[in-house]
Amino acid sequence: MPDQKAKAILNDIGTEELAHLEMVGTIVHQLTKGASIEEIEKAGLGAYYTDHGVDVYPQAASGTPFTASYIACKGDVIANLQEDLAAEQKARATYEKLIDLCRDEPDVVDPLRFLREREVVHFQRFGEALRGVQDKLAEKKFYLNDTLVNNNASILSTNDNNCNCK
Ligand SMILES: [Fe+2]
């Protein structure tokens, strides 16, 4: 990462995303805690219950388990930040669909709205990081010749020794 500010932004967002995972897991736990088998079946969670009981298991709404293949990295800072920007938009869109589905549950909708807003902020901060990195990469680079630097240092050192001023 060629830019310290971008590094800090990535660290901040990554830390916050882990907290979001905890919030979503807590919502799922609170919604399923103490649910009867009939309530679980009525909610369409029969297959989930069969595989995981009421434990919190990271998977897509379609049932596909979370894997590292969801993490996009290309070994190129610009491509990686573009992937991050797209991921934030996908997260925002997912929260909006969840809000639609949970529209009659204010205790669920409110934290989902908060999470959606944070994804918008993350998108903006990744954009800020991308602009910073692009500016950094576009800077003109100056290279110093070591011999020239050493000779100048030697001259300066010699001048210091011959200085008559006190
Ligand atoms: Fe995010």
C-alpha 19 to ligand 1 mean position (Å):
10
**Among 58, 69, 119, 59, CA closest to 93:** 119
C-alpha 78 to ligand 1 mean position (Å):
18
- How does DSSP classify residue 131? H
pLDDT tens per residue, range 62-106: 999 999 998 889 999 999 999 999 999 999 999 999 999 999 999
C-alpha 151 to ligand 1 mean position (Å):
52
Q: Which residues have their alpha-adjacent CB atom under 5 A from ion ligand 1?
A: 88, 119, 122
Compute the Cα dihedral for 6, 11, 15, 18 and give only its sign.
positive
Domain 4-161 in CATH 1.20.1260.10? The answer is: yes
- Which one-letter amino acid corresponds to residue 117? E
Mean pLDDT of the region 36-59: 95
**CB contact at 8 A, 112 and 102:** yes
C-alpha 152 to ligand 1 mean position (Å):
51
C-alpha 118 to ligand 1 mean position (Å):
6
C-alpha 120 to ligand 1 mean position (Å):
7
C-alpha 18 to ligand 1 mean position (Å):
10
d(CA 98, CA 70) in angstroms, rounded, equals 20
pLDDT at 12 > cutoff 70? yes
C-alpha 99 to ligand 1 mean position (Å):
16
Per-position b or e across 41-64, b if 16+ CB within 10 A of its CB: eeeebeebbeeeebeeeeeeeeee
pLDDT at 120 > cutoff 60? yes
Where do the H-state alpha helices sit in 60-105? 77-101
Give backbone dihedrals phi and psi of 118, rounded to 5 degrees, phi first.
-65, -35
Q: What is the mean pLDDT of the chain?
A: 90
Predicted structure pTM score: 0.79
